[in-house]
Amino acid sequence: MEIGAGKFKALCLQLMDRVHDTHERIVITKHGKPVAQMVWVEEQKPQPLFGRLRGTVLVSKDLVGFSPQP
């Protein structure tokens, strides 16, 4: 579906509900040229608390004498 920016502005909340319910893509145009699109975003499951930082922490054998590498 394509819709002009002015009409989109007036119907934005209704169009958001429509996209949520139907997963339809809406292209917003200005002067007949596409400038943006509204698409359905799949809900993401929350990450579990434990293991969330896996792979992001640097482990050193000597934590007391650790000094960062320049």
The domains located in the chain, with CATH, are: 2-38 (3.40.1620)
In this predicted structure, what is the pLDDT of residue 18? 96
* DSSP strand pairing (2-4 vs 33-38): unpaired
In this predicted structure, what is the pLDDT of residue 29? 97
Low-confidence ranges of the chain (pLDDT < 70): 59-70
Closest CA relative to residue 26, chosen from 6, 10, 2: 2
3-state DSSP assignment of residue 4: strand
In this predicted structure, what is the pLDDT of residue 26? 97
Residues 6+ apart with CB under 8 A from 34: 2, 27, 28
In this predicted structure, what is the pLDDT of residue 66? 59
Percent pLDDT > 70 in the chain is: 83
